Amino acid sequence: MSKENLQKIVVLGMGGTIAGMASNPENPKEYKAGTLGLADLMGGLGLSNAVHTELRNVAQINSKDMQAPHWQALLSAVDTANQDPQTRAVVITHGTDTLEETACLLEAMGPWSKPVVLTCAMLPANAPAADGPGNLADALDWAAHTQHCAVFVVCAGKVHLSQEVQKLTTESVDAFTSGQQACFASKQGGQWHEHRDLAPARDFHKPSLTYALALKKWPRVEMLTNHALNDGAVVRALLATSASEDTPLAGIVLAGTGMGTASQGLEQALQKALDLGVKVWLSSRCIFGLANAQAQTTWGVVSPLSAAKARTALCLSLIAEQENQL
């Protein structure tokens, strides 16, 4: 069968450690992310002729530096691939640091009619034990065979759902967790085995894709943490300077202690923010478990998401409000 007759997997590159190079391969912690293009990453995989890929380098960045234009470029590329009837699935190479936020973004702006699979690496491409090639090969394999149209993260032989995935460690190549549940699927003996049903899709308050792609400035949403000795000074400082910023403060996500608690001083400062029209969402700084839904009477929204994902969701909600006012 000719490649022209094969369904293709569109591979989108966003940079990250998976595309990084260390100046000294024996010291892989010292490296520059986003150095290699997709052609270099794909070159050594030895893919079967049955796999037809189309490559597009969208960004070459360290994912800690992710900004709205990068997300807009990625959303546009995913949308283009999704609309192409020859596309079987989309695979995205991405840095680990903000991968769960991008996964949340893609989930929220869906649903997509094709599988969307993110993958990554914890070691640069020229490290002796580089994990990127294996992760990319697994992502392509999962993309070629899964019958589910959802947003996935493939790393270390495991498949995580966008709803659940969180980065858990700074060093292990098995860097992600699905929280209190097992991963959605894993590779055993060269075969994928699903461990449970696909989680139901979540409803997000989101803008149209057209509006999100055209927006010049996305709303400013800050993520803060409650901690010992917190008197709310950071919130008061944000409010004091907001009016003079190019992009005024529009939202705050609080990663509260325990089930989503805040110190008395922080509560007072957040109430001031609410009075000034700043949206406040509550999450928990704990890896496992959710914030107490009873706090909704105080804060308005208690998010079922991690704080990082809640910040993404609040940003999209604010954009949707802007669009609805037109």
pLDDT in tens, 276-316: 999 999 999 998 888 877 765 566 678 889 999 999 999 99
Domain annotation covers residue 153: yes
pLDDT of residue 295: 64
**Main-chain phi, psi angles of 193, to 5 degrees:** -125, 120
Domain annotation covers residue 204: no
Q: What is the largest distance, in Å, between two alpha-carbon atoms of the chain? A: 68
The verdict on 296 and 217 lying in the same domain is yes
Q: Distance (Å, rounded) from C-alpha 185 to C-alpha 198?
A: 10
The verdict on 75 and 174 lying in the same domain is yes
201 close to 111: Cβ distance less than 8 angstroms: yes
CATH number of the domain to which 48 belongs? 3.40.50.1170
Q: What is the number of residues in the chain?
A: 326
pLDDT of residue 300: 62
The verdict on 181 and 229 lying in the same domain is no
- Whole-prediction pTM value? 0.95
- Strand 116-119 and strand 87-93: the pairing is parallel
Query: pLDDT 10s per residue in the chain (326 long)?
Result: 344 445 899 999 999 999 999 999 999 889 999 999 999 999 878 776 667 999 999 999 999 999 999 999 999 999 999 999 999 999 999 999 999 999 999 999 999 999 999 999 999 999 999 999 999 999 999 999 999 999 999 999 999 999 999 999 999 999 999 998 899 999 999 999 999 999 888 899 999 999 999 999 999 999 999 999 999 999 999 999 998 888 999 999 999 999 888 999 999 999 999 999 999 999 999 988 888 777 655 666 788 899 999 999 999 999 999 999 98
Per the structure, the count of domains in the chain is 2
Tell me the pLDDT tens digit for each residue of 97-151. Answer: 999 999 999 999 999 999 999 999 999 999 999 999 999 999 999 999 999 999 9
The verdict on 147 and 280 lying in the same domain is no
The verdict on 319 and 188 lying in the same domain is no
pLDDT of residue 31: 96
165 close to 176: Cβ distance less than 8 angstroms: yes
The verdict on 176 and 231 lying in the same domain is no
Residues of the domain holding 53: 3-194
Question: Among 194, 226, 254, which residue terminates a domain?
Answer: 194
Name 167's bridge partners. 176
Question: Among 137, 160, 194, which residue terminates a domain?
Answer: 194
- Strand 185-188 and strand 158-161: the pairing is antiparallel
Beta strands in 36-183 (DSSP E): 52-61, 87-93, 116-119, 151-155, 158-161, 166-167, 176-177
The verdict on 253 and 172 lying in the same domain is no
Domain annotation covers residue 203: no
Domain annotation covers residue 200: no
The verdict on 12 and 100 lying in the same domain is yes
Q: Distance (Å, rounded) from C-alpha 178 to C-alpha 277?
A: 34
Helix or strand run (H / E) with residue 308: helix 307-324
